[in-house]
Structures are given as C-alpha cells and as structure tokens.
C-alpha cells in the first residue's frame, strides 16, 4: 500500500547571488522552520538558484550578435543579444516559428530558448543559463547536505518545461542524485493478470512536478521537501537517464 506523501515548501531562502553556499542557505531555512532532514527525504531545488550560485549568469550586451540572431530578433520577442545567448546554449534548433524557438541544449534537453531565462534575474538585466552539469550539481548538493546532517536523501534539480500536445507547463527533473529517476514495471503483472509491456514511470519528473504545487512561480519558494515517497536509492543514476534515446524517438 502506498504511503502518504508530504510536500513541504521551504521558505526563507534569500535571493541567491553568485558564489553563495546553497547548503548554508538551505540549512538556515530548514532551521527557521524547525524542519530537520530525515533519511528518505527528497529535496527538489529549482534550477534558478543553482545556476545563480554557480555564476551561470551572462550580460547579453557583452556579446556580438550573429546575423542569424538579428534575423530571429526581427521576427521574435527578444533582442538580438538575447537570441545570441540562446543560440550559443543550443546544439540544434528543433522548431522555429516567429516568436517561438525550441532548441536542443548541449545537455540534450529539448526546451524553449535553450532554457535561458530572464525572469526574476535582477530585473532582466542578466540572463540565467542552465547549470553546466545539473547532475553534478545535484550530486554535490546531496553530498554536502548529507555530510552536514547525516540524513541519506535524494536531490532533484527542476526546471519548468512546456509539453508537446499539452497546454501548460510543468516542472521536470533536469538533474538528480540519490534515486533512480525511472521506475520500470515492464514484465510485471497488473491487478488483472496482464503482463505490462512498456510501462516506465518517470518518477523524478513526477516528484519535480509535485513540488511545483507548493513552490509557485511568484511566491519565491525555490526549494521543496518531499517526505514519505519510497524511492529506489541509487548512487549512480542520473537525470540523463530521462532523455529518450534518439533511436527510439518517433518524433525526432
């Protein structure tokens, strides 16, 4: 029988600056809520504060836009400098219509504008890039938190993505550490005796989406704690496992 799950917003995390110690900020916020971490907890941390702490900010005006960036700016909603940043963060353009640019990042993520974000970043004067390696960021954060608390936890770094064929956006896991991001039911019988053939749940994405319910987009809650979910521990699994192999991608 499934256990009840708690999703707890972690409030009181201040505006993160490059070089800040995220573990220290999280420890202080948890202490203010009198919420010590427990073994089995999952921390879901938004990409934005990880990127800020790692200094993944760029002033677009320092770059020289290409001719293609100027062409995009003439058709889209951003200036040429912003599009130049987006192009540099991309491996390829997946889809492009006036005002919309879907790209594949160097990490292999497919998302709008290479995940480059200008919302909630110093009034839009700087652009925030995705972490260089979100899995490595999650692993470092997990290791440091565990060293300070003694609790064996999992860490998910989340970002907001749109979805093909569905209206609206959801949080997904772009990096994780400490848990298997997928739960494979292939070969197991369902309650009616049918053997499941291709049922693989993206549990890391589901946890990231669930955490968004208490984070909000304007509430300044960049971290959530999920307690009670019985995940499969792993020291090797990464968020890269959530990326579909191009050989099985029917839409590529």
Tens digits of residue pLDDT in 25-59: 999 999 999 999 999 999 999 999 999 999 999 99
Task: Give me the chain's average pLDDT, please.
Answer: 92
Confidence of residue 196 (pLDDT cuts 50, 70, 90): low
Residues 6+ apart with CB under 8 A from 32: 11, 12
The percent of residues above 70 in pLDDT, for the chain, comes to 92
Strand partners, 40: none
Cβ proximity of 158 and 62 under 8 Å: no
Half-sphere CA count of 101, side-chain side, radius 13 A: 27
Cβ proximity of 175 and 135 under 8 Å: yes
Cβ proximity of 92 and 103 under 8 Å: yes
What CATH superfamily classification does 6-54+131-243 receive?
Answer: CofE-like (3.30.1330.100)
Distance of CA 195 to the CA centre of its chain: 33
Confidence of residue 194 (pLDDT cuts 50, 70, 90): low
Overall pTM surpassing 0.95 (yes/no)? no
Sequence spans of domains, the chain? 6-54+131-243, 57-127
Out of 3.40.50.300, 3.30.565.10, 3.90.1660.10, 1.20.1250.20, which CATH number does the structure's domain 57-127 have? Answer: 3.90.1660.10
Q: C-alpha distances in angstroms, 215 versus 44, 110, 192?
A: 10, 23, 38
DSSP three-state, residue 133: coil
Cβ proximity of 207 and 150 under 8 Å: no
Average pLDDT for 166-192: 88
Each residue of 114-173: pLDDT tens digit? 999 986 666 657 899 999 999 999 999 999 999 999 999 999 999 999 988 899 999 999
Cβ proximity of 30 and 36 under 8 Å: yes
Whether residue 250 is predicted with pLDDT greater than 60 in this model: the reply is yes
Q: How far apart are CA 223 and CA 218, in angstroms?
A: 13
Phi, psi of 125 (to 5 degrees): -75, -25
Structure tokens at 93: 């353009």
DSSP code of residue 18:
T
């Amino acid at each position: 029988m499934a256990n009840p799950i708690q999703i707890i917003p972690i409030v009181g995390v201040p505006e993160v600056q490059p070089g800040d110690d995220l573990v220290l900020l999280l420890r202080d916020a948890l202490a203010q809520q009198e919420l010590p971490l427990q073994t089995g907890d999952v921390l879901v941390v938004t990409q934005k504060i990880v990127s800020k702490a790692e200094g993944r900010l760029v002033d677009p005006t320092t770059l020289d836009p290409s001719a293609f960036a100027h062409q995009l700016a003439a058709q889209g909603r951003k200036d040429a400098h912003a599009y130049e940043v987006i192009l540099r963060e991309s491996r390829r353009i997946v889809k492009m219509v006036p005002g919309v640019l879907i790209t594949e990042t160097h990490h292999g993520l497919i998302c709008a504008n290479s995940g480059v974000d200008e919302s909630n970043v110093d009034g839009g004067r700087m652009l925030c890039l995705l972490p260089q390696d979100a899995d490595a960021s999650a692993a470092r954060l997990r290791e440091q938190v565990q060293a300070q608390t003694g609790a064996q936890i999992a860490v998910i770094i989340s970002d907001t993505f749109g979805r093909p064929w569905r209206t609206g956006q959801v949080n997904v896991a772009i990096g994780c550490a400490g848990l298997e991001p997928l739960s494979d039911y292939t070969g197991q019988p369902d309650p009616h005796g049918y053997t499941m053939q291709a049922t693989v749940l993206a549990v890391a994405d589901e946890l990231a989406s669930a955490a968004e319910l208490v984070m909000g987009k304007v509430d300044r809650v960049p971290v959530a704690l999920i307690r009670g979910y019985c995940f499969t521990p792993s020291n090797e699994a990464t968020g890269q496992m959530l990326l579909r192999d191009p050989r099985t991608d029917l839409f590529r």
